[in-house]
Amino acid sequence: MSVEEFLLVRARVEEERASIARLKDELTRYRLFPQITATEVGGFPLGDVAVSRIVGSILHDLYAAIENVFKIIASRLDRSVPSGEQWHRELVDQMTLDVPGLRPAVISRTTAAVLDPLRGFRHVFRNVYGFHLAPERITPLLRSLPGVLQAFEEDIDRFLLRMETELHLAEQEESQGDAAREGAKPDTEARDRGAPGTGAP
Protein backbone atom coordinates (compact mmCIF):
# COMPACT_ATOMS: atom_id res chain seq x y z
CA MET A 1 0.00 0.00 0.00
CA SER A 2 1.09 3.60 -0.48
CA VAL A 3 2.24 5.85 2.32
CA GLU A 4 -0.70 8.15 1.62
CA GLU A 5 -3.18 5.29 2.10
CA PHE A 6 -1.56 4.30 5.38
CA LEU A 7 -1.57 7.88 6.66
CA LEU A 8 -5.33 8.00 6.10
CA VAL A 9 -5.78 4.68 7.90
CA ARG A 10 -3.65 5.88 10.81
CA ALA A 11 -5.63 9.13 11.08
CA ARG A 12 -8.93 7.28 11.17
CA VAL A 13 -7.63 4.78 13.71
CA GLU A 14 -6.44 7.60 15.95
CA GLU A 15 -9.85 9.23 15.68
CA GLU A 16 -11.46 6.06 17.06
CA ARG A 17 -8.85 5.85 19.79
CA ALA A 18 -9.75 9.39 20.81
CA SER A 19 -13.36 8.22 21.17
CA ILE A 20 -12.18 5.35 23.37
CA ALA A 21 -10.31 7.84 25.55
CA ARG A 22 -13.46 9.94 25.95
CA LEU A 23 -15.47 6.88 26.98
CA LYS A 24 -12.80 5.94 29.53
CA ASP A 25 -12.99 9.49 30.90
CA GLU A 26 -16.75 9.11 31.23
CA LEU A 27 -16.39 5.92 33.27
CA THR A 28 -13.70 7.65 35.34
CA ARG A 29 -16.09 10.49 36.17
CA TYR A 30 -18.57 7.90 37.41
CA ARG A 31 -15.73 6.38 39.50
CA LEU A 32 -16.06 3.09 37.65
CA PHE A 33 -12.62 3.15 35.99
CA PRO A 34 -9.90 2.03 36.45
CA GLN A 35 -11.39 0.70 39.69
CA ILE A 36 -14.98 0.56 40.86
CA THR A 37 -15.11 2.94 43.83
CA ALA A 38 -18.62 4.35 43.33
CA THR A 39 -21.64 3.11 45.24
CA GLU A 40 -24.10 4.91 42.97
CA VAL A 41 -24.34 6.56 39.57
CA GLY A 42 -26.62 9.53 39.02
CA GLY A 43 -28.26 8.94 42.36
CA PHE A 44 -29.06 5.31 41.55
CA PRO A 45 -27.35 2.42 43.41
CA LEU A 46 -25.01 0.32 41.31
CA GLY A 47 -27.44 -2.59 41.21
CA ASP A 48 -30.27 -0.47 39.80
CA VAL A 49 -31.46 -1.12 36.25
CA ALA A 50 -30.90 2.56 35.41
CA VAL A 51 -27.18 2.18 36.14
CA SER A 52 -27.09 -0.97 34.03
CA ARG A 53 -28.54 1.02 31.14
CA ILE A 54 -26.02 3.84 31.56
CA VAL A 55 -22.94 1.68 31.99
CA GLY A 56 -24.13 -0.83 29.41
CA SER A 57 -24.35 1.95 26.84
CA ILE A 58 -20.76 3.03 27.53
CA LEU A 59 -19.46 -0.54 27.33
CA HIS A 60 -21.36 -1.00 24.07
CA ASP A 61 -19.81 2.18 22.65
CA LEU A 62 -16.33 1.10 23.75
CA TYR A 63 -16.54 -2.12 21.82
CA ALA A 64 -18.09 -0.30 18.86
CA ALA A 65 -15.04 2.00 18.72
CA ILE A 66 -12.66 -0.97 18.96
CA GLU A 67 -14.57 -2.73 16.21
CA ASN A 68 -14.45 0.43 14.09
CA VAL A 69 -10.64 0.28 14.28
CA PHE A 70 -10.78 -3.28 12.97
CA LYS A 71 -13.22 -2.35 10.20
CA ILE A 72 -11.00 0.53 9.05
CA ILE A 73 -8.02 -1.82 8.77
CA ALA A 74 -10.05 -4.59 7.13
CA SER A 75 -11.58 -2.29 4.52
CA ARG A 76 -8.58 -0.07 3.78
CA LEU A 77 -5.67 -2.49 4.14
CA ASP A 78 -7.10 -5.99 3.75
CA ARG A 79 -9.73 -4.90 1.20
CA SER A 80 -11.96 -7.52 2.78
CA VAL A 81 -14.53 -7.14 5.56
CA PRO A 82 -16.26 -10.32 6.75
CA SER A 83 -19.99 -10.66 6.17
CA GLY A 84 -22.70 -13.01 7.38
CA GLU A 85 -24.10 -13.79 10.81
CA GLN A 86 -20.70 -14.34 12.45
CA TRP A 87 -18.93 -11.34 10.93
CA HIS A 88 -18.21 -9.66 14.30
CA ARG A 89 -16.30 -12.71 15.53
CA GLU A 90 -14.66 -13.32 12.14
CA LEU A 91 -13.47 -9.72 12.03
CA VAL A 92 -11.62 -10.17 15.32
CA ASP A 93 -10.10 -13.43 14.05
CA GLN A 94 -8.98 -11.65 10.89
CA MET A 95 -7.15 -9.04 12.98
CA THR A 96 -5.01 -11.78 14.57
CA LEU A 97 -3.65 -12.88 11.19
CA ASP A 98 -0.16 -11.97 10.05
CA VAL A 99 -0.52 -11.48 6.29
CA PRO A 100 2.93 -11.53 4.63
CA GLY A 101 3.29 -8.84 2.00
CA LEU A 102 0.25 -6.97 3.30
CA ARG A 103 0.40 -6.28 7.03
CA PRO A 104 1.43 -7.76 10.39
CA ALA A 105 -1.14 -9.03 12.87
CA VAL A 106 -3.14 -6.18 14.35
CA ILE A 107 -3.79 -7.84 17.71
CA SER A 108 -2.55 -10.99 19.40
CA ARG A 109 -4.74 -14.02 19.94
CA THR A 110 -4.49 -13.32 23.66
CA THR A 111 -5.96 -9.85 23.14
CA ALA A 112 -8.67 -11.31 20.91
CA ALA A 113 -9.60 -13.69 23.73
CA VAL A 114 -9.87 -10.96 26.38
CA LEU A 115 -11.96 -8.84 24.00
CA ASP A 116 -14.47 -11.63 23.51
CA PRO A 117 -16.61 -11.01 26.64
CA LEU A 118 -16.95 -7.34 25.65
CA ARG A 119 -17.92 -8.35 22.12
CA GLY A 120 -20.48 -10.76 23.54
CA PHE A 121 -21.93 -8.07 25.78
CA ARG A 122 -22.30 -5.72 22.83
CA HIS A 123 -24.46 -8.34 21.15
CA VAL A 124 -26.62 -8.77 24.27
CA PHE A 125 -26.99 -5.02 24.75
CA ARG A 126 -28.27 -4.56 21.20
CA ASN A 127 -30.72 -7.44 21.40
CA VAL A 128 -32.42 -7.30 24.81
CA TYR A 129 -34.52 -4.75 26.66
CA GLY A 130 -32.58 -2.58 29.07
CA PHE A 131 -34.42 -3.95 32.10
CA HIS A 132 -32.99 -7.39 31.25
CA LEU A 133 -29.38 -6.20 31.62
CA ALA A 134 -27.94 -8.00 34.62
CA PRO A 135 -25.61 -6.00 36.93
CA GLU A 136 -23.77 -9.23 37.74
CA ARG A 137 -22.72 -9.41 34.09
CA ILE A 138 -21.65 -5.76 33.84
CA THR A 139 -19.50 -5.68 36.99
CA PRO A 140 -16.96 -8.30 35.80
CA LEU A 141 -16.65 -6.41 32.50
CA LEU A 142 -15.83 -3.20 34.35
CA ARG A 143 -13.27 -4.96 36.52
CA SER A 144 -11.49 -6.50 33.54
CA LEU A 145 -11.74 -3.38 31.37
CA PRO A 146 -8.39 -1.73 32.31
CA GLY A 147 -6.45 -4.83 31.28
CA VAL A 148 -8.53 -5.33 28.15
CA LEU A 149 -8.03 -1.77 26.94
CA GLN A 150 -4.32 -1.80 27.80
CA ALA A 151 -3.80 -4.96 25.76
CA PHE A 152 -5.73 -3.47 22.83
CA GLU A 153 -3.84 -0.14 22.93
CA GLU A 154 -0.44 -1.81 23.18
CA ASP A 155 -1.23 -4.07 20.22
CA ILE A 156 -2.44 -1.15 18.10
CA ASP A 157 0.67 0.89 18.97
CA ARG A 158 2.84 -2.08 17.98
CA PHE A 159 0.91 -2.60 14.75
CA LEU A 160 1.16 1.05 13.67
CA LEU A 161 4.87 1.15 14.48
CA ARG A 162 5.54 -1.97 12.41
CA MET A 163 3.58 -0.54 9.49
CA GLU A 164 5.52 2.72 9.73
CA THR A 165 8.79 0.79 9.79
CA GLU A 166 7.87 -1.37 6.79
CA LEU A 167 6.82 1.71 4.83
CA HIS A 168 9.98 3.57 5.92
CA LEU A 169 7.67 6.33 7.08
CA ALA A 170 10.04 7.75 9.69
CA GLU A 171 12.80 8.17 7.11
CA GLN A 172 10.40 9.84 4.67
CA GLU A 173 9.06 12.24 7.29
CA GLU A 174 12.62 13.10 8.35
CA SER A 175 13.61 13.64 4.72
CA GLN A 176 10.62 15.90 4.15
CA GLY A 177 11.52 17.87 7.26
CA ASP A 178 15.10 18.30 6.03
CA ALA A 179 13.82 19.44 2.64
CA ALA A 180 11.50 21.97 4.26
CA ARG A 181 14.34 23.35 6.36
CA GLU A 182 16.64 23.55 3.35
CA GLY A 183 13.93 25.33 1.39
CA ALA A 184 13.67 27.97 4.09
CA LYS A 185 17.40 28.80 4.09
CA PRO A 186 17.56 30.84 0.83
CA ASP A 187 14.80 33.17 2.07
CA THR A 188 16.76 33.81 5.27
CA GLU A 189 19.95 34.39 3.36
CA ALA A 190 18.15 36.75 0.98
CA ARG A 191 16.83 38.80 3.87
CA ASP A 192 20.31 38.94 5.37
CA ARG A 193 21.77 40.18 2.10
CA GLY A 194 19.16 42.88 1.81
CA ALA A 195 19.23 43.99 5.44
CA PRO A 196 20.55 47.47 6.28
CA GLY A 197 24.16 47.57 7.31
CA THR A 198 25.12 44.37 5.52
CA GLY A 199 26.77 46.08 2.61
CA ALA A 200 24.08 45.00 0.16
CA PRO A 201 23.48 47.49 -2.69
DSSP 28-49: HHTT-SSS---SEETTEETTSH
Helices (H) and strands (E) in the chain, counts: 6, 2
Is the same domain home to 162 and 63? yes
Is the same domain home to 40 and 52? yes
Is the same domain home to 163 and 176? no
Is the same domain home to 174 and 158? no
Query: Is the previous residue joined to 201 through a cis bond, with omega within 30 degrees of 0?
Result: no
Q: Which domain holds residue 180?
A: 170-201
CB-neighbour burial class of residue 102 (10 A; exposed 0-12, middle 13-18, buried 19+): exposed
pLDDT of residue 5: 92
Is the same domain home to 107 and 193? no
pLDDT of residue 127: 80
Is the same domain home to 107 and 39? yes
pLDDT of residue 201: 44
pLDDT of residue 130: 80
Query: Cβ neighbours of residue 3 under 8 Å, at least 6 residues apart?
Result: 167, 169, 172
CA 121 – CA 135 distance, rounded (Å): 12
pLDDT of residue 189: 54
Is the same domain home to 74 and 125? yes
CA 112 – CA 84 distance, rounded (Å): 20
pLDDT of residue 135: 87
pLDDT of residue 30: 97
pLDDT of residue 40: 94
Is the same domain home to 36 and 61? yes
How many structural domains does the chain have?
Answer: 2
pLDDT of residue 129: 76
Per-residue pLDDT of the chain (201 residues; tens, 9 = 90+): 788 999 999 999 999 999 999 999 999 999 999 999 999 998 999 999 999 999 999 999 999 999 999 999 999 999 999 999 999 999 999 999 999 999 999 999 999 999 999 999 998 898 887 877 888 889 999 999 999 999 999 999 999 999 999 888 866 655 555 555 566 555 555 555 555 555 444
